[in-house]
Structure 1
Amino acid sequence: MENIATVIILLAVVTALAEVTDRIKVPYPILLVLAGIAISLVPGLPVITLNPEVVFLVFLPPILYAAAWTTSLAEFKAARRSITLLATGCVIFTTCAVAWVAHIFIPDLSWPEAFVLGAIISPPDAVAAAAATKGLAIPKRVTTILEGESLVNDATGLIAYKYAVAAVVTGVFNVWEAGLQFFVVAGVGIVLGLLVGLVFKWIHKLTPDNPTTDTTLTFLAPFVAYLSAESIHVSGVLAVVVCGLYLGRQSSKIFSQQGRLQAYGVWDTVIFMLNGIIFILIGLQLRVVMEGMEEHSFGTLLWYGAIVSVAVILGRIIWVYPGTYIPRIIKRIRTTEPKPSMKTVTVVAWSGMRGVVSLAAALALPLTTMGDEPFHNRNLIIFLTFCVILSTLVLQGLTLRPLINWLGIEVDNAEHEREQQARLRIASSVIEHIEENYSLALSDEVLNQIKTKYEIRIQRIRKDQTQQRLAEQEINEFHRIQKELLNRERELTLSLRDQGKISDEALRKIEYELDLEETRLILEQA
């Protein structure tokens, strides 16, 4: 009962803070973590402990699955080299760099323990990256690379973490065996995720007109993929990501219109709640993190935290620039991939926020090693992980928007132009189809009425292509008036229902049509 009350209170706090972040234009993970820290400092409040098993089983699969579902598989493939270099190469490089710095500057931290720390804090967080870059004027390819990296890098970090912990616990480590196991664990996880995706695609096709069942299946898929992979000791993270990428690509074929609307609406709400709770829980761990740190002075702890945080940030920067431009020595890469500008590479290098997976991995460290010896420096590793999460979220998260503005990065309009060309082609093809297949079967009046909708759409698209677009202020004014008129329609509809002139069923039907119209306006404004 106490746990349920805690979750409800946290949801209330998350919802209130989300409204604040919308107004002050601060990424909500940052505000939630800071709020969690502030709450944890209030005397007399009970300590809320973040259970690592809950994170890995309850939070991680749906969050990764949702992110993978909305990631374009085609764009992911196009950027796969950059994503792989970051998700694998950068994670391993950062692990080694942090381990070296931590071992050199922190007394009594052994090499195995230093590698454990490096593996824990090396992968950036999927949710933090998406939240920090949301609404920013950055090219689509940069967003794809950052989101793709954050989807895959958890697998690399967790596999490295597993072998680093084993080295501490057993005192034995074989780099060749670990390297081979890495490819086996990752490869089998990918294959298993694809198989789970194929099975769920088949199940979805058995229920093509049942939105409730389809939505439920979307929640089952990530857990089935994750648990199936973990049960045979392969990468559950990669299984979930591959399953989500595949089913997201197939969603247009296996979902009905109502199923898509319902699934997206439900998932938006669930992911909002999961993300909100997990980030405020990070902040609430401050008391837990500070336990057992009496042997170090507060100033020494801050110094260690600053050193490791700088190593994490600089390690990514050192990797990203050479990793971007050195491979372009190869002619095939130069001819097939556009040359990235230094400005966009800088954004990628600075977008290395850490999050809940790192903290959960730190909290999951065993208490003892072989012979029931205590896991030396366990509390220090947890503290340093917390420092890195806080510093990267706050420092990089808050400075990312000013950095983009300072660099003068502008959104590439090529994607918008391709979208408009596609809309024009679709509308023109439908008119041709109408004339070829319905001109003899329908009267002229009915035929013209059907064609009018598509002809108006073509005129609007061509007008957009040949004339200057409205200023942003005029566009906002147009949409504001449209929403006011829709609200007026809702008021009139409700008044008619209250007067008994229409039924509740008619009210819901009209409201649904108005909601769809307002959704269309929102999409146009996006």
Structure 2
Amino acid sequence: MVENFIYYLGLVLVIIGSIMLANRLKVAYPIILVIAGLLISFIPGLPAVKIDPELIFIIFLPPLLYEAAFAVSWKEMWKLRRIITSFAFIVVFLTAISVAFIANSFIPGFSLALGFVLGGIVSPPDAVSAGAILKFVKVPKNVSTVLEGESLFNDASSLIIFRFAMVAVATGQFIWQDAALSFGWMVFGGLGIGIVLAFIFLKIEKIFPTDVNMDAILSLVAPYVMYIAAEEVHASGVLAVVSGGLFLSIRRHEIFRTSESRLRGSNVWESFVFLINGIVFLLIGLDLPEILVGLNKEGISLSDAIGYGLLVTGVLIVVRFLASFGAVFVTLIMRNFIDVADRDPGMKAPILMSWTGMRGVVSLAAALSIPIMMENGQPFPHRDLILFITFVVILVTLILQGLTLPTLIQKLNLSDNKEGYLSEEASEKFLRKGMRRIAINYLNENYRERRKENEYFNKIMDRWEQEDKDDSIHKMSEEAKGIYFEALEQQRIWLREENRRNLNIDEEYIRHYLTRLDLEEERLRM
């Protein structure tokens, strides 16, 4: 037991070292982690890393989805809602259908139901992989928003397909009427449960006294509660976490009510997600030897299995390529009838979108969650082949697309111009001026007479009016600090309201200044 613990501790160090190496090489860390896991898996004598398939989704998916929902901008998602929902639902369904029919036609012994199981597993692109790669290059804001928004919902649509296909494999039948009703409940039930539970968590934070540690713990517990509650009533746990996460993301200032809790919560989540992402991508490589043993038991040669994996990978790339240009074609038609976010999408962005279909966390979790034995006592057909094909898809898309994506972006010469938004310089000038104006107005309206009594208020006013950097602000009295904090809170309120009503300001800048206000408050409190 102690030896295994040391081994697992060593894996954590491998994760850290791999990510450090990836940052040094300027390569997306999922690629290095998968390769590291693959190399470790062939070291003789090391214990196998196994996780109960039923726990895969519960352990990894809720926090990853919740963190992604918190990170994405609802304002920007709403602006691009049509293209996001198209990629998250329509493209995923088309991809799953294509994989199902190709698998049924070219893989011996693969029924159409098994094809849909495989299609549901490999159809959703992985945002973690794309995000890790895109941080090294600059892409248009619209493209990154579509990728982030797509990743939130395509997991739900693919896992719904996966669940229905699993039922069809187990029962040997598929009743469309029952499936339609079940689909409706999974979607709307999941959305409703997530929002209701998020509302309850919000009320708990408001009614009961909590401290910084409680706020962080409640935020970690929330996605697990949402996911498990929805799954217990056969609704979509993924949609519950996404809807609940988006609901609370818009109200994050009510969940994390103090600057300290916001900063501490952000640090906790960053470290937690860093660790579980690393574990999942390392598991992809570590799981290969066990999959190969299963292939031998099925009597499938390694060359044939690799061929099936490459075939499915090719289908995924082609379908996403066609879908990306299909979206442009539809946009060019629909812009004549409705307002669309990008009236002239061009050809470069679709090429980029078609090459950002790296698979990862969700595909692995879905594949590993396939039970070894079905309820009737029979082994699940072709489980190890499905696992191996999923492994090939993840490995090839990560390495092929992941390593070539930065070069493609450079060749396309895509600018970082955020269409529809003010430039970074103009946004900074506008926000800083607005924040100073709000603070000055608040102090003049509420504490004008105090300005004459205390030199520190003069320095506060001078700091905003003239952007004075005088360090004497640290000598403020406790009473002056309290009033200063009130002014900071007024600035926060103004920033949040400006984010809602001003569509020309990128929310990324708003969040940057909100964080700066929290850091300023904590600096003075210390």
Range class of TM-score, shorter chain: 0.7 to 0.9
Q: Which residue of 2 aligns with 1:231?
A: 232
For the 8 Å contact 1:50–1:281, the answer to whether it is kept is: no
Deviation (angstroms), 1:379: 1.6
Question: Structure 2 stretches of 5 or more lacking a match?
Answer: 470-515
For the 8 Å contact 2:76–2:145, the answer to whether it is kept is: yes
Q: Which residue of 2 aligns with 1:483?
A: none
Q: Which residue of 1 aligns with 2:271?
A: 269
Q: Work out the CA distance in 1 between the residues paired with 2:240 and 2:328.
A: 27
The question of 1:175 aligning with 2:180 is answered no
Q: What is the 5 A alignment of 1:54-453?
A: 54-207=55-208, 210-254=211-255, 255-294=257-296, 295-331=299-335, 334-339=338-343, 340-368=345-373, 372-412=377-417, 414=422, 416=424, 417-443=426-452, 445-453=455-463
Query: Greater CA deviation, 70-79 or 45-54?
Result: 45-54
Count how many residue pairs are aligned between Structure 1 and Structure 2.
465
Deviation (angstroms), 1:316: 1.2
Q: What is the 5 A alignment of 1:434-513?
A: 434-443=443-452, 445-457=455-467
For the 8 Å contact 1:129–1:147, the answer to whether it is kept is: no
Q: Work out the CA distance in 2 between the residues paired with 1:457 and 1:191.
A: 47
Q: Work out the CA distance in 1 between the residues paired with 2:237 and 2:428.
A: 35
Q: Work out the CA distance in 1 between the residues paired with 2:460 and 2:144.
A: 40
Deviation (angstroms), 1:81: 1.4
CA offsets per residue over residues 6-46 of structure 1, 9 Å max, x none?
A: 43121111111111111110111110001000111112222
Deviation (angstroms), 1:168: 1.4
CA offsets per residue over residues 383-433 of structure 1, 9 Å max, x none?
A: 111110111111111111111111001112535233431222121232233
For the 8 Å contact 1:211–1:262, the answer to whether it is kept is: yes
SS class of match (1:108) = coil
TM-aligned CA distance change 1:100 to 1:243, over 3 Å: same
Q: Which residue of 1 aligns with 2:486?
A: none
For the 8 Å contact 1:103–1:110, the answer to whether it is kept is: yes
Question: Structure 1 stretches of 5 or more lacking a match?
Answer: 460-512, 521-526
Query: Greater CA deviation, 136-145 or 194-203?
Result: 136-145
Deviation (angstroms), 1:190: 0.5
- Structure 1 counterpart of 2:466, one-letter code: I
For the 8 Å contact 1:84–1:149, the answer to whether it is kept is: yes
For the 8 Å contact 1:208–1:256, the answer to whether it is kept is: no
For the 8 Å contact 2:451–2:458, the answer to whether it is kept is: no
SS class of match (1:399) = helix
Query: Greater CA deviation, 167-176 or 87-96?
Result: 167-176
Q: Which residue of 2 aligns with 1:31?
A: 32
Deviation (angstroms), 1:145: 1.2
Deviation (angstroms), 1:86: 0.8
For the 8 Å contact 1:129–1:150, the answer to whether it is kept is: no
Deviation (angstroms), 1:447: 4.3
Q: Work out the CA distance in 2 between the residues paired with 1:285 and 1:160.
A: 24
SS class of match (1:439) = helix
TM-aligned CA distance change 1:20 to 1:207, over 3 Å: farther
Instruction: Give the TM-score normalised by structure 2.
Output: 0.83
TM-aligned CA distance change 1:334 to 1:406, over 3 Å: farther
- Structure 2 counterpart of 1:166, one-letter code: V
Instruction: Give the TM-score normalised by structure 1.
Output: 0.83
Q: Work out the CA distance in 1 between the residues paired with 2:429 and 2:217.
A: 34
Q: Work out the CA distance in 2 between the residues paired with 1:250 and 1:415.
A: 26
For the 8 Å contact 1:197–1:244, the answer to whether it is kept is: yes
Query: Greater CA deviation, 138-147 or 228-237?
Result: 138-147
SS class of match (1:424) = helix
TM-aligned CA distance change 1:424 to 1:5, over 3 Å: same
- Structure 2 counterpart of 1:410, one-letter code: S
TM-aligned CA distance change 1:458 to 1:306, over 3 Å: farther
- Structure 1 counterpart of 2:461, one-letter code: K
Q: Which residue of 2 aligns with 1:475?
A: none
The two structures, once aligned, show a CA RMSD in angstroms of: 2.4
Deviation (angstroms), 1:278: 1.1
Q: Work out the CA distance in 2 between the residues paired with 1:164 and 1:396.
A: 28
Q: Work out the CA distance in 2 between the residues paired with 1:377 and 1:281.
A: 21
